[in-house]
Amino acid sequence: MAEKISAVKGMNDILPPEAARWEWLEGIVREQMARFAYRNIRTPILEHTALFVRGIGEVTDIVEKEMYSFEDRSDKHGQAEHLTMRPEGTAAAVRAVVEHNLLYDGGKRLFYMGPMFRREKPQRGRYRQFHQLGIEALGFAGPDVDAEVILLAASLWKRIGLTDVRLELNSLGQPAERAAHRAQLIAHFEQHADKLDEDGKRRLHSNPLRILDTKNPAMKDVVDSAPKLIDFLGEASLAHLNGLRAILDANGVAYTINPRLVRGLDYYNLTVFEFVTDRLGAQGTVCAGGRYDDLIVQIGGKSAPAVGWAMGIERVLALLEEQGGQGFVAPVPDVYAVVPDASAMPVVLQTLVALREAGVRVQMHAAGPDGQGSFKSQFKKADASGARFALIFGADELARGEVTLKALRDGSGAQRSCPLADVAQWAATLQFPAAQGATP
Ligand code: ATP
Ligand code: MG
């Protein structure tokens, strides 16, 4: 046998039983986006490296050490492009909005779902290929839209039955306020330079705010005692924050103000927030976002405000499972077809096609290398499939132009004959009242 080839480290196969949970979540997400009038956008996996360097910021974990970047083959002029597999979705969404001038007739509300790539140390809740659901509301300036994106997430948690998350909120103010804070922050960290780790020392002058985002527990004290940006906010920034808080309060959305919350990406201003849990260890942030009014200009567009968030799908599903995975029902067929010898298969498949056209979910027993197997072994498979009915294509029945339908789940074992000539008539009685795996 040839040597086996395994998947790339940190990149997971999502196999059928687990993928059904993903489809369930994705179905609810699509419904949820429709309720809030957010429209789907799909951008390429590969972008020019410059987009992320400019959009995310040079002094960030992602750009400094996590990107999958490469030089493409040269074209006929000997020019090679620097490309990167997208590590997040916002920069690309903004690039597309600018490139296609989507804001020409007013604001846009967008969402995306798909794989992202970061070369991190793989561990539970942290992978090299992972998946995000993200939303972006572009062209809207007020705290009402900050509230809308947060309420959209909060109501999504409700619909999928996620209870173990809490909301943390902060304001990063505006550039002038950050500059005043930055000076005092640098002074504070210089005073305690001996307590900074390597990343901290390197960022002390390039991006001291990011030191607050450290995951190093040894730096907790020096970070906790640092001057707080929220104390440097002017009237307008405070009014924005208070406007958001009033809407969240009116909607019963609980939150705490976390002055250390600065987010891992450079492009945020005013509102930043995270939904966090204590149940996933160091990978406790399930959804994170904020306002990024300056990003569109950085990417070459006409100045426009924007706010959004991104959610880690793996983390949300892990947390749901941790909690007992309410809501999700594994998909099962309505009917399992128990089949006779090969000569009957044309009639069997004709009947099954008619059933499927009538909306019935049908799993056909198919022959393995050793043939169909006995009716008994087929019934075992029918049972294991979870189907509510077995549809038995016995030779005698077929000769009479009939097929036998047997109840598998209600304990009755009841059987009845159904005419092959009129599948649509009895097909209607076979489906589950609510389709399995449907969205609530
Ligand atoms: P962390 O602090 O955990 O590294 P981050 O600040 O880098 O997260 P964002 O860039 O804000 O994360 O991405 C939004 C969300 O995407 C995160 O809150 C998390 O749920 C998810 N996420 C980020 N990186 C990964 C990863 N490597 N594997 C799985 N999920 C991830
Ligand atoms: Mg990260």
Nearest-angstrom CA–CA distance, 22 and 13: 12
* 283 pocket-lining for ligand 1 (C-beta < 6 Å): yes
pLDDT-derived band at 51, boundaries 50, 70, 90: very high
CB 23 within 8 A of CB 439: no
- Is 89 annotated for ligand binding? yes
Query: Does 88 contact ligand 1 (Cβ within 6 A)?
Result: yes
132 lines ligand 1 (CB under 6 A): yes
pLDDT in tens, 393-432: 999 999 999 999 999 998 888 999 999 999 999 998 886 5
- Computed over every residue of the chain, the mean pLDDT equals 93
Q: What percent of the chain shows pLDDT beyond 70?
A: 97
Q: Is the minimum distance from the CB of 315 to ligand 1 under 6 angstroms?
A: yes
Task: Give the confidence band of 335 by pLDDT, cuts at 50, 70, 90.
Answer: very high
Q: What's the pLDDT score for residue 370?
A: 86
Quick one: pLDDT band at residue 209, thresholds 50, 70, 90?
Answer: confident
What letter would DSSP give residue 177?
Answer: H
Is position 132 annotated in a ligand binding site?
yes
How many angstroms is it from 120 CA to the middle of ligand 2?
8
What Å distances lie between residue 56 and 99, 175, 211, CA to CA? Answer: 18, 16, 16
Nearest-atom number in ligand 1 for the CA of 118 is 27
For residue 423, give the nearest of 379, 391, 377 by alpha carbon. 391
Element (H, E) at 136: strand 129-138
Residue 438: its pLDDT value, please?
A: 37
Count of all residues that appear for the chain in the document: 440
30 marked as part of a ligand binding site: no
Reply yes or no on whether the pLDDT at 188 is more than 80: yes
Mean pLDDT value across residues 43-50: 98
Pocket probe mutation, ligand 1, options 285, 286, 292, max atoms within 8 Å of Cβ: 285
Domains belonging to the chain, first-starting first, are 18-173+233-322 (3.30.930.10), 335-430 (3.40.50.800)
Asked whether 126 lines ligand 1 (CB < 6 A), one says yes
- The answer to whether 118 is a known ligand-binding residue is yes
Residue 127 Cβ < 6 Å to ligand 1: yes
Return the ligand 1 atom nearest residue 213 CA: 2
pLDDT reported for residue 264? 63
Asked if residue 202 belongs to a known ligand binding site, the reply is: no
Residue 188 to residue 174: CA distance in whole angstroms: 21
Instruction: Find the 285 Cα to ligand 1 centroid distance in Å.
Output: 7
- Nearest protein CA to atom 25 of ligand 1, as residue: 126
Distances (CA, A) of 383 to 96, 271, 345, 377, 387: 50, 53, 21, 10, 7
Q: What share of residues in the chain are helix, strand, coil (percent, to 5)?
A: 40, 20, 35
pLDDT at 265 over 80: no
pLDDT of residue 429: 83
Per-residue pLDDT, 432? 54
- For 264-301, letters b (16+ CB in 10 Å) and e give bbbbbbbbbbbbbbeebeebbbbbbbbbbbbbbeebeb
Give me the mean pLDDT over the 338-344 stretch. Answer: 88
Ligand 2: centre distance to CA 72 (Å): 26
Model pTM score? 0.92
Q: Which residue, 365, 59, 244, is CA-closest to 257?
A: 244
Which ligand approaches the C-alpha of residue 290 most closely? 1
Ligand 1, atom 14: closest residue by C-alpha: 310
Best residue for ligand 1 mutational test, from 11, 52, 132 (most atoms within 8 Å of Cβ): 132
Distance (angstroms) between ligand 1 centre and the Cα of 312 equals 6
The closest residue, in CA terms, to atom 21 on ligand 1 is 312
338 contacts 379 by C-beta, under 8 angstroms: yes
Model pLDDT for residues 13-42, shown as the tens digit of each residue: 999 989 999 999 999 999 999 999 999 999
Question: What is the gyration radius of the CA atoms in the chain, in angstroms?
Answer: 28
Ligand nearest to the CA of 65: 2
**Residue 391: pLDDT above 90?**
yes
Burial 391-416 (b: 16+ CB within 10 A, else e): bbbbeebbeeebbbbbebeeeeeeee
56 ligand 1 Cβ < 6 A: no
Q: What span, in angstroms and rounded, lies between the C-alpha atoms of 60 and 380? A: 56
Confidence of residue 243 (pLDDT cuts 50, 70, 90): very high
Residue-level pLDDT at 213 = 81
Burial class (CB in 10 A: 0-12, 13-18, 19+), 326: exposed
Q: Which of 175-184, 293-302, 425-434 has the lowest mean pLDDT?
A: 425-434
Residue 263 confidence (pLDDT): 76
Asked whether residue 271 carries a pLDDT value surpassing 80, the answer given is yes
- Measured in Å, how far apart are the chain's first and last C-alpha atoms? 48
